Amino acid sequence: MEFEQAWLDYSRKCSCEGTDGIEAVFVGIADDRQDILIKNSVAELQRAFVGLFGRELAVHTGAPVGDGICLALREGMQAEAYHIYEDGGKISIEASDSRGILYGVFALLRHMQTENSLRGLNLTKAPVMPMRMLDHWDNMDGSIERGYSGKSFFFEDNEILVNDRTVTYARLAASVGINAVVINNVNVKDAATWLITERYTDKVRALSEVFAGYGIKMYLCLNYAAPMELGELASADPLAEEVRGWWKKQMAFVFREVPNLGGFLIKADSEGRPGPFTYGRTHADGANMLAEAVAPYGGKIIWRCFVYNCQQDWRDEKTDRARSGYDNFIGLDGTFLDNVILQIKNGPMDFQVREPVHPLFGGLTKTNQMLEVQIAQEYTGQQRHVCYLIPMFREILAFHTYVAKECDTVEDIVCGRTFGQKNCGMAAVANTGNDENWTGHDMAAANWYGFGRLAFEPELSAEEIAREWIRLTFGREEQVEETLLYILMTSWRAYENYNAPLGIGWMVNPNEHYGPSVDGYEYSRWGTYHRADHLGIGVDRSGAGTGYALLYREPNASIYNDKERCPDKLLLFFHHMPYTWKLKSGKTVIQHIYDTHFEGVEMVDEMVERFRKLQGKLPKKPYQRMLERFLHQKEHAREWRDQINTYFYRKSGIADERGRKIY
Amino acid sequence: MEFEQAWLDYSRKCSCEGTDGIEAVFVGIADDRQDILIKNSVAELQRAFVGLFGRELAVHTGAPVGDGICLALREGMQAEAYHIYEDGGKISIEASDSRGILYGVFALLRHMQTENSLRGLNLTKAPVMPMRMLDHWDNMDGSIERGYSGKSFFFEDNEILVNDRTVTYARLAASVGINAVVINNVNVKDAATWLITERYTDKVRALSEVFAGYGIKMYLCLNYAAPMELGELASADPLAEEVRGWWKKQMAFVFREVPNLGGFLIKADSEGRPGPFTYGRTHADGANMLAEAVAPYGGKIIWRCFVYNCQQDWRDEKTDRARSGYDNFIGLDGTFLDNVILQIKNGPMDFQVREPVHPLFGGLTKTNQMLEVQIAQEYTGQQRHVCYLIPMFREILAFHTYVAKECDTVEDIVCGRTFGQKNCGMAAVANTGNDENWTGHDMAAANWYGFGRLAFEPELSAEEIAREWIRLTFGREEQVEETLLYILMTSWRAYENYNAPLGIGWMVNPNEHYGPSVDGYEYSRWGTYHRADHLGIGVDRSGAGTGYALLYREPNASIYNDKERCPDKLLLFFHHMPYTWKLKSGKTVIQHIYDTHFEGVEMVDEMVERFRKLQGKLPKKPYQRMLERFLHQKEHAREWRDQINTYFYRKSGIADERGRKIY
């Protein structure tokens, strides 16, 4: 398929000083340490040089003779780290393991494509987060839950696919440092039940070996009730001996058959999925039982904290879904085994365009934690709107939890700096599918690229990451770069502007989660309300309300709890406010709603206007594909603007100060 | 299946004076006129007597000897009419055709089961509406659009079913006077394309013959684009010779293969279905072309008037979906051939719990018309709520259009009294499926029963029909009869009370059309808006607004146009009114909303309380089945009440005068 190489497309000729003399790869690595990763590293260099420079690289084993790229293993470096340096025309890539070599190769290629020279190159990088994971919500029938880029490339008609596309996927993921991939949907039981059985082991192993070649551990989602469905046990009680025995036996089987398996991801006791609650057991009981079963094989259990009552009565103002993750897990802090990791969504609700940071970050102090974000743009435009999420992720990572005097940000926690943990990191719900360009919207690929880069090097700015992605994907033409950069860097703010205001979220059409519906979730069972009436809007989560604000450490708790100090952008999440309330910006809430919604549309108009000027400067097919989506976004942003403004104008009766058209 | 006989269940012993002496059926009909209908009539009598009285009836041909039931054809009676009379213990059923005999047999059985005596019986009845039709929305895969009673019994896996259930269906339909049935969904093209091809003719014929045995003509829905899909023509232009030729040839084929075919039902140029508009032709061009093709075989073309713009912009307050049926068809009055019938929905929107009568009734004066109602409870509780619709249908039929000095009601028009038409009548979108009891909710069968009875004898009151159905279905126990009668007669009013207020409609969840969502259709493309703001609600369809009110004849136009004179129950359909407006009832609009919603729930509570007292008096299975639905209705009526009251309280800020709980 065309465009299938995404940012690894080597067909555009590259100009980079210092590459001319490079004619060979010297593999200075003992034969017995030349594993498949080293082979794939060399092959990647060869492939790239043919494409970028029209030159076949020779491969030599042993000490270098003349200019070339030298690969060498060196003791004493951090795992997965690499050191690249130029010395008199010779380029060395050194690492203490073959994964580091592979990352070094991709880093070198990235440098050649995005910069002008190799002269004086001297780069040492170690991945900052131990786990950098993609979670796919692919189903065995080939569909993808919340997939906006076509069908699955892992599954089709209940079979596992292992083919060229799998290899390209693994290369793309590895090139940005991804080292763990969950292939099946955490929300659906079929694959989660059957992938650990004999029926699928051959293909599961084959797929895991493709990943292994690129330093990626494969993970599976697991059905907590598997002992009942597969083992014909009467229970899945984590404290029952026969259940524990069943899991141990089953795990011995699975890890023998699939040695590259990293472990399992589990959603238990949430949104209808089974779990330990059924047996009066805790999440820790459930997770630890599985952790014991996988420990002999170095396996990990990743346990989702997305647990809440999804049968809430909208009339009930006491129950607060935002509290539920915290309330369910905080009491279990310190009771999980070391190979258990809690996977915590960035916010307490569900991947809205704006949420406060999840209070479990900073709450938990003795538990391995992983930050879960969603690059599948479920609530952020479904890859029909452009919405570059890296700026949002950086804000989340930079959030001070005040759990410690130093190293107290979310980034510190999930990098292991706060508590010295190793089993931690960041996971993203993936945005890929079988569409030619992988992500539906060509620009959505920046989120995939960016997520990996950010997890590897969180010190990179969103803009730096965006520039890299643009250069790798579309070359170094200045207008292209500046235009696409402008669009990416504007997009999240634009989307937030025309979406639900001031952190309240959820004004989407039920189920599909696309397009505006202000009351779409207002009278439903999902715990997602805005409580707007003719005088005001927002949920009182202060101490006088549900108390959610007080779950944070000080000074966050006091700030959020106080409507005068709460940041504007989260005000309606924490407080029910009159439309006439003056924000810190000096605007009233209602005027803020009107202004941001008009501004959001203007921002999209500007994005599209600039984009149109790239006609002829971008390849025709991606240009057309993007243009079509931009035109839809233009219209759909107006739909958001008009529905939301109209809703609040009709409800409040307060006119726009500037007299613009509201229906 | 148990309960499959519905109101033709003869297993309950019957006591009726004058039946004891009946030992035989005397068929006083010449051999050559003893068609399948006569045979089925005799068989029905025999079957009933075995069940009701435990007695085999002998069958004699020729003059009667002793007591018995005598069937005889007699010249000079109206088609389909029957005369039943008792004379010295002998019961005669006379008619001028065998369909009249069949209807007489069912009438006699009904009388025996619902009344105490046959003595002095003397009953002459002729069906008042020429066409009494059921429209099924069944798809060839076995699903039913807007079906709430299980799968199709006409189709399964793209095959046509002809079996015992088909026969029972035909008996049930004929027993209430149905004489036409459309078997496939008017909204879906698959069956509409393929049923007229060789692939299906054997089964289509077999099915039509089952119907023929009970006096029912079978109709098919037709895909207007069939010449393109089947005939490989490049167009379906109704004025193109090759298209006309294709249809003539195809119709010759179909009617030769399926002689009992009555004709076709077509939805054209509506909700995405193809039609003559594509070619710049009118509905008359399209309908007449087909009518010419079927005329040689006595076929009829039934053309739906449900045509509107379903891509409307909610911001557009000028376009009015309510006008569209009228605007599309009024100019074509008098241009349709005589075997074309326009099928007009009861209201201008789409089967809401309350709508004004469609203005084409009284608008058209030179066109055959058929009233279309929906007993599938799409918007009236989906056969989980009980909602007996016969009172609504009677109101519609009784509506004075003022199209003539006398005989100006909708009933007069569709009975043929106003314009002397023969091709007219009433059709109902069917509510049946493969559920054991045919209709999901046992009480929904009253709508099926009632529709047929009403079309045959519109002079029957809703209460009379209800009593008949109860007695036939559950026997003559007084408490059972009075309780179920109370429930049926209360149900529509209760449902309207807790539904959208004052005729505005559409406050349902999009797509599924079940459960409240006040803004569910407010910002959509379907032309279905309530325009509520903080001061008032309603659509201005007066002359100052969309002008819809003026489509009616005087004095209706003036009454609807004037907010002071417009009936309360339709006020918000015709006018945008402040919440503080005083209704004729003396209540304000907002207080009316609150009061009716509390009352609606109280009415359901009363219904359920009374129903519970029937435990032990109804067969266990239907009792449980109904109880389960009643308990759901109780809860769901509260959901309606609370969502609607809360929505308007939050929007208007006006408190309930009586201080009841609103959220």
Task: Tell me the per-residue pLDDT of A378-390, one tens digit each, with 9 for 90 and over.
Answer: 999 999 999 999 9
Predicted confidence (pLDDT) at residue A288 exceeds the cutoff of 90: yes
Tens digit of pLDDT for each residue in A311-355? 999 999 999 999 999 999 999 999 999 999 999 999 999 999 999
CB spacing of A649 vs B516 below 8 angstroms? no
Beta carbons of A603 and A493 less than 8 angstroms apart: yes
Identify the weakest region by mean pLDDT among A470-479, B58-67, B147-156. B58-67
Beta carbons of A366 and A418 less than 8 angstroms apart: no
Residues of chain A contacting B653 with CB distance shorter than 8 Å:
533-535
How sure is the predictor about B177, in pLDDT bands with cuts at 50, 70 and 90? very high
A648: nearest CA partner in chain B: B533
CB spacing of A533 vs B314 below 8 angstroms? no
- Best of A313, A314, A519 to disrupt the B interface (most B CBs within 10 Å) is A519
Instruction: Return phi, psi of residue A563, to 5°.
Output: -65, -25
- Best of B313, B522, B523, B533 to disrupt the A interface (most A CBs within 10 Å) is B523
Establish if A514 touches chain B: CB-CB under 8 angstroms. Answer: no
What one-letter code names the amino acid at B95?
A: A
In sign, the C-alpha dihedral spanning A455, A456, A460, A465 is: negative
- With CA atoms as reference, report the closest residue to B492 among B447, B457, B535, B459: B447
Task: Express as a percent the part of chain B with pLDDT over 90.
Answer: 94
Establish if A662 touches chain B: CB-CB under 8 angstroms. Answer: no
CB spacing of A534 vs B642 below 8 angstroms? no
Alpha carbons A57 and A110: distance in angstroms, whole number: 18
- With CA atoms as reference, report the closest residue to B318 among B539, B39, B467, B16: B539
Task: Express as a percent the part of chain A with pLDDT over 70.
Answer: 100
Alpha carbons A528 and A522: distance in angstroms, whole number: 7
Residues whose CB falls within 8 Å of the CB of residue B252, separated by 6 or more in sequence, listed in order: B296
Q: What's the gap in Å between the CA of B183 and the closest CA on chain A?
A: 33
What one-letter code names the amino acid at A174?
A: A
Beta carbons of A265 and A136 less than 8 angstroms apart: no
Which residue(s) pair with A392 in the sheet?
Answer: none
Q: How far is CA A43 from CA A57, A163, A217, in A?
A: 9, 17, 21
Residue pairs spanning A and B at CB distance below 8 A = 49
How sure is the predictor about B63, in pLDDT bands with cuts at 50, 70 and 90? confident
Alpha carbons B12 and B3: distance in angstroms, whole number: 12
Beta carbons of A512 and A505 less than 8 angstroms apart: no
Res A87: pLDDT:
93
How sure is the predictor about B66, in pLDDT bands with cuts at 50, 70 and 90? confident
Tens digit of pLDDT for each residue in A206-215? 999 999 999 9
Q: Which two tokens stand for residue A523?
A: 């009278």
Strands (E), B471-594: 536-537, 577-578
Beta carbons of B80 and B129 less than 8 angstroms apart: no
Q: DSSP 3-state assignment of A361?
A: strand
Res A309: pLDDT:
86
CB spacing of B519 vs A647 below 8 angstroms? yes
Residues of chain A contacting B519 with CB distance shorter than 8 Å:
517-519, 647
Catalytic residue numbers of A read 271, 350, 378
Predicted confidence (pLDDT) at residue A1 exceeds the cutoff of 80: no
B653: nearest CA partner in chain A: A534
Establish if A315 touches chain B: CB-CB under 8 angstroms. Answer: yes
Beta carbons of A410 and A401 less than 8 angstroms apart: yes
Cα-trace Rg, chain B: 25
- With CA atoms as reference, report the closest residue to B538 among B583, B494, B495: B583
Nearest to B651 among A315, A534, A646 (CB): A534
Q: Which two tokens stand for residue A630?
A: 């931009």
Beta carbons of B182 and B220 less than 8 angstroms apart: yes
Establish if A613 touches chain B: CB-CB under 8 angstroms. Answer: no
A525: nearest CA partner in chain B: B639
Residues whose CB falls within 8 Å of the CB of residue B628, separated by 6 or more in sequence, listed in order: none
Alpha carbons A194 and A217: distance in angstroms, whole number: 19
Res B445: pLDDT:
98
Alpha carbons A350 and A364: distance in angstroms, whole number: 20
Residues shown for chain B: 663
Establish if B514 touches chain A: CB-CB under 8 angstroms. Answer: no
Range B118-123 average pLDDT: 96
> 515-554 in B: which are within 8 Å (CB) of A?
516-519, 523, 532-535
Q: What's the gap in Å between the CA of A307 and the closest CA on chain B?
A: 26
CB spacing of A651 vs B646 below 8 angstroms? no
Residues whose CB falls within 8 Å of the CB of residue B423, separated by 6 or more in sequence, listed in order: B130, B131, B300, B338, B339, B340, B341, B368
Res B272: pLDDT:
79
Predicted confidence (pLDDT) at residue B18 exceeds the cutoff of 90: yes
- Strand order of the β-sheet with A58-61 is A58-61, A24-28, A69-73, A90-95, A82-87, A122-125
CB spacing of A314 vs B663 below 8 angstroms? yes
Range A116-132 average pLDDT: 96
Nearest to A650 among B314, B533, B639 (CB): B533
Residues whose CB falls within 8 Å of the CB of residue A599, separated by 6 or more in sequence, listed in order: A497
CB spacing of A534 vs B646 below 8 angstroms? no
Alpha carbons A289 and A300: distance in angstroms, whole number: 12
Tens digit of pLDDT for each residue in B341-385? 999 999 999 999 999 999 999 999 999 999 999 999 999 999 999
Cα-trace Rg, chain A: 25
Alpha carbons B383 and B226: distance in angstroms, whole number: 34
Predicted confidence (pLDDT) at residue A55 exceeds the cutoff of 70: yes
Which residue(s) pair with A371 in the sheet?
Answer: A344, A426
Beta carbons of A638 and A602 less than 8 angstroms apart: no
Q: What's the gap in Å between the CA of A646 and the closest CA on chain B?
A: 9
Q: DSSP 3-state assignment of A409?
A: strand
CB spacing of B642 vs A519 below 8 angstroms? no
Range B185-195 average pLDDT: 89
Q: How far is CA B490 from CA B379, B507, B605, in A?
A: 17, 22, 11
Residues of chain B contacting A314 with CB distance shorter than 8 Å:
663
Beta carbons of B254 and B124 less than 8 angstroms apart: no
- With CA atoms as reference, report the closest residue to B370 among B348, B399, B346: B346
Res B1: pLDDT:
59
CB-side exposure of A545: number of CA atoms within 13 Å? 25
CB spacing of B650 vs A523 below 8 angstroms? no
Range A629-651 average pLDDT: 98
- With CA atoms as reference, report the closest residue to B193 among B139, B240, B144: B139
Range B93-103 average pLDDT: 97
Predicted confidence (pLDDT) at residue B255 exceeds the cutoff of 90: yes
Q: What's the gap in Å between the CA of B642 and the closest CA on chain A?
A: 9
Q: Is the peptide bond before B516 cis (omega within 30 degrees of 0)?
A: no
CB-side exposure of A346: number of CA atoms within 13 Å? 24
Residues shown for chain A: 663
Beta carbons of B448 and B456 less than 8 angstroms apart: no
Q: What's the gap in Å between the CA of A536 and the closest CA on chain B?
A: 10
Range A242-266 average pLDDT: 97
Establish if B647 touches chain A: CB-CB under 8 angstroms. Answer: yes
Question: Where do the H-state alpha helices sit in B176-270?
Answer: 189-194, 198-212, 226-229, 241-257
User: What ipTM does this complex have?
Assistant: 0.88
In sign, the C-alpha dihedral spanning A372, A374, A380, A386 is: positive
Q: Residue for token digits 């599924």?
A: B512
Task: Give the distance from CA B278 to its chain's centroid.
Answer: 31
Which residue(s) pair with B557 in the sheet?
Answer: none
- With CA atoms as reference, report the closest residue to B570 among B589, B597, B553, B598: B589
Global confidence as pTM:
0.93
Catalytic residue numbers of B read 271, 350, 378
Predicted confidence (pLDDT) at residue A33 exceeds the cutoff of 80: yes
SS (H, E, C) A23-67: CEEEEECCHHHCCHHHHHHHHHHHHHHHHHHCCCCEEEECCCCCC
Range A267-276 average pLDDT: 86
Identify the weakest region by mean pLDDT among A264-278, A506-520, B405-419. A264-278
Establish if A655 touches chain B: CB-CB under 8 angstroms. Answer: no
Task: Give the distance from CA B462 to its chain's centroid.
Answer: 14
B316: nearest CA partner in chain A: A663
Beta carbons of B367 and B336 less than 8 angstroms apart: yes
- With CA atoms as reference, report the closest residue to B529 among B243, B356, B289, B322: B322
Alpha carbons A606 and A583: distance in angstroms, whole number: 27
Residues of chain B contacting A650 with CB distance shorter than 8 Å:
532-534, 651
Which residue(s) pair with A94 in the sheet?
Answer: A72, A83
- Best of A317, A319, A523 to disrupt the B interface (most B CBs within 10 Å) is A523
Identify the weakest region by mean pLDDT among A270-284, A391-405, B81-95, B572-586. A270-284
- Give the DSSP per-residue string, A192-259: HHHTTSHHHHHHHHHHHHHHHTTT-EEEEE--TTHHHHTT--S---TT-HHHHHHHHHHHHHHHHH-T
Which residue(s) pair with A582 in the sheet?
Answer: A588
